[in-house]
Chain A
Amino acid sequence: MKRKIAVAAALAATLLGTAACGSNSDDKGTASTDTKVDGTGKTIKVWLMVDAQTSWKNVVDDATKRFTAATGAQVNVEYQQWANHLTKLDATLAGSDVPDVVELGNTEFSKYVFNGGFAEVNKSDFENSDTWLSGLSGACELDGKTYCVPYYAGARVLIYRTDLFKAAGITAAPKTYDEFLADAEKLQTGAKGNSKFGSFYMPGQYWYAAMSFVKSTGGDIAKKDGDKWVGQLSQPASQQGLQRWVDAVKKYSKADVTKNENDQAGIFSQGQAGMFYGNAWEQGVAEEVRKDPNDPNSPLVPTKVKGKLAAAPLPEIPSFLGGSNLGVTQKSANKELAAQWIKAFTDSTSMAGLVKANALPNASSLMDKAAADNPTIAPAALAAKQSWFPPNAEKWADVEKGNVLQTMLTDVLTGKKSVADATKWADDQINTTLNES
């Protein structure tokens, strides 16, 4: 009898042309992709960040095409801007009509995972999931379950002026940190008389860079001790690393100490700096700009530094592993379809497309091939092997949003506080924020 009803239901579903399984009939809340989902007549809503639109829209379109071919469902992709995007997400997720797939930065994800914003996904459904970069997937894991899928990564490298290097008699990229400092010194001396020239462009609120220096001396931002987080910045090892960064910035950077790194490639392209620390793709940004900055299809125009740049890992400084993840929202009515779309968008085909667009793939197993396929990102792929990511704490995003690290850095650079005082202050802030219930 039971079976008969099931058959009848299945038949009815087929006749209606809409499958019931795509909706929230899914009691477990797991977004599974193992059964083929019929999504005919359905549309899933996807929120991606604007980077996908400007840099790899073709990958999105291609994945969507394959997804639609497989499921019959349509996809409505909405591109979000980084400015203000969490406010919008908060308001939207509080309601009932939510996007099915949401992209967030890897450091933003934990908070939403901890608070039940995203549905569990079946990790093994996704290609390369056993070699996902832990810097990305760390934010997805909670109590042994997986709540999001790594999307792409970025690692930071040293981007430098080959012509200036040559003029200063430097023949190769620095291999050690001391070499790096010596090179910076040579470039700075070589530009004597030009008061605007800084051999190492480093904006003062570029905390990803500063924390990389902290990591380089064995320091850390925060550690979990039992069930409490403890800020580590005022530990000697951390202070030493921060001091290292401060010394380099004070000596070799002419960058605004209250700016972050957003505009650094554009500023660097004006030729008043010898090196900067950026994502691999920022080399391209510094060398060429879109004729029409609002049109991702307009021709590229060379800048003053075109053809004069090269990249290499910043020696001895582990890179912050940035990037984004994708999650299926807990309130989504199409969890399975949503997971299916993510699957298409993060498979090896899509990853190859991202690599072409100068992003790093989401898994370490793809890294060597990526470096071989696209020489531009080879240094970043190398740097990604020596990378770190912020504490995987529920409230970490609040530390970022609370400007704690940025304020600490500016305070030190401007001499308002000593490294000791500023790190002590930052630790207090971090302890309060991360342990707040």
Chain B
Amino acid sequence: MTAVDSPTTRPQAAGGVTVQKPAAQRPSRRRRHDALVPWLLTLPTLLVLALLLGRPLYRMIVLSFQNMRLRELLTGVAPPWVGFEQYQKALTDSTFWGVVGRTAAFTVVSVTVSVLAGLAVALLMRRVHRRVRLAMMIAMMFVWALPQLVAAQAFVWLTDSDFGVLNYLIDKIPGVDYANHSWFVNPWQGWTLITVLVVWAGIPFLAISLSAGLTQVPKELLEAATVDGATAWQALRNITLPILKPLLTIVTTLSVIWNFGLFTQVWVFRSGHPEPYFQTLATYSYTQAFGQSRYSYGSAIAVITVLLMLGVMVFYIRQMFKIGEVD
């Protein structure tokens, strides 16, 4: 589903790429040719993006400076230009900031838990028997292969207040009455459930990429450290983690970007009508546009979301350049 740039699977690549130098000794005709070729190669991609994405994107941005409501949408009357009004409205609205805060808090919690769990699983996979590791791999592959929508619907079914098996199982614990328990009465419980779903679905990617990364940690180094009396924790902190750091940075950034855009899970759990305290930036932008016919306001929120994520993206790009991957 996803992928990350990992220097760890190709340790030689990082060095290999930097060899690239303008070949001064080559004949100049070839050089001019060389300058043209990469552009020709990227041209189709740029064209596709410009044609198919550029125009709608431009329209969305323009839309965010207008005030398009249902009447303008239905009749084709040009919506009035309102400048930064939509942005001003969003940025001065406590509801909007509530949504931003909620989305950010969810992102921090879910990413922390997923990455830690992924790392723990990756480390565990190194210690267990081959067969156990295979079982773990198979379980994770199935979870990974489950489409987001299917996974969300499965969780809705598992946690159904009337027929859900989760309530049944919890109810079996002596002294706990969870029959007909509704998980979305209490926003904290609801969010816990959403987080569990996101973490559960995210672990396979994290654990499998991190365990691929762990194979790059020289075993001799770990063994030597143990012989020297280092505890497992010290070995992890001083040897494994530093080697894993670039990969960790990348998978964390990616998780942040994905979880920040949380939509499907909330949408399915709340059957298309998230209550105010279950709104995230993505669902909020969507319900403002299509539920409330505030198409321009929805666009403005989407633009703000992109800008916020660009901030995170900077980390990713800096990491990429730092490890020499793209230079």
Residues of A within 8 A of B (CB): 83-84, 86-87, 90, 93-94, 111-112, 114-117, 195-196, 204, 254-260, 262, 267, 270, 330-331, 398, 401-403, 406-407, 410, 414, 433
A407 and B291 within 8 A (CB): no
B73 and A195 within 8 A (CB): no
A257 and B185 within 8 A (CB): yes
Interface size in chain B (residues, C-beta < 8 A): 28
Interface 9-mer from B37-45, B208-216, B271-279, B318-326: B271-279
Question: In the assembled complex, how far is the CB of residue A367 from the closest CB belonging to chain B, in whole angstroms?
Answer: 32
A257 and B182 within 8 A (CB): yes
Per-residue CB contact flags for chain B residues 42-79 toward chain A (1 = under 8 Å, else 0) read 00000000000000000000000000011101111000
A406 and B273 within 8 A (CB): yes
- Alpha-carbon gap, A86 to B287, bound state (A): 11
- Alpha-carbon gap, A220 to B70, bound state (A): 27
Q: Give every chain A residue within 8 A of B88 (Cβ-Cβ).
A: none
- Alpha-carbon gap, A116 to B276, bound state (A): 30
B71 and A402 within 8 A (CB): no
A330 and B276 within 8 A (CB): no
For A118, the closest partner residue in chain B by CB is: B74
Q: Give every chain A residue within 8 A of B71 (Cβ-Cβ).
A: 114-116
Q: List 13 A-B contacts (CB under 8 A).
A: A84-B272, A86-B291, A114-B71, A196-B180, A255-B161, A256-B162, A259-B161, A260-B271, A270-B162, A401-B292, A403-B275, A406-B275, A414-B186
Question: In the assembled complex, how far is the CB of residue A218 from the closest CB belonging to chain B, in whole angstroms?
Answer: 29
Residues of B within 8 A of A (CB): 69-71, 73-76, 161-162, 177, 179-180, 182-186, 271-276, 287, 290-293
B73 and A94 within 8 A (CB): yes
- Alpha-carbon gap, A117 to B291, bound state (A): 16
Q: Give every chain B residue within 8 A of A93 (Cβ-Cβ).
A: 73-74
Q: CB < 8 Å: which of A94, A195, A255, A403 contacts B273? A: A403
A contacts with B: majority SS: loop
Q: Give every chain A residue within 8 A of B184 (Cβ-Cβ).
A: 258
Q: Give every chain A residue within 8 A of B287 (Cβ-Cβ).
A: 401-402
Q: Give every chain A residue within 8 A of B293 (Cβ-Cβ).
A: 90, 111, 398
Q: Give every chain B residue within 8 A of A94 (Cβ-Cβ).
A: 73-74, 76
Q: CB < 8 Å: which of A90, A196, A254, A407 contacts B275? A: A407
Q: Give every chain A residue within 8 A of B70 (Cβ-Cβ).
A: 90, 111-112, 115, 117
B185 and A414 within 8 A (CB): yes
- Alpha-carbon gap, A255 to B161, bound state (A): 8
A403 and B182 within 8 A (CB): no
Q: Give every chain B residue within 8 A of A111 (Cβ-Cβ).
A: 70, 293
Q: CB < 8 Å: which of A195, A256, A270, A331 contacts B161? A: A256
- Alpha-carbon gap, A203 to B76, bound state (A): 41
Q: Give every chain A residue within 8 A of B180 (Cβ-Cβ).
A: 196, 254-256
Q: Give every chain B residue within 8 A of A112 (Cβ-Cβ).
A: 70, 74
Q: Give every chain A residue within 8 A of B292 (Cβ-Cβ).
A: 398, 401-402, 433
- Alpha-carbon gap, A195 to B171, bound state (A): 12
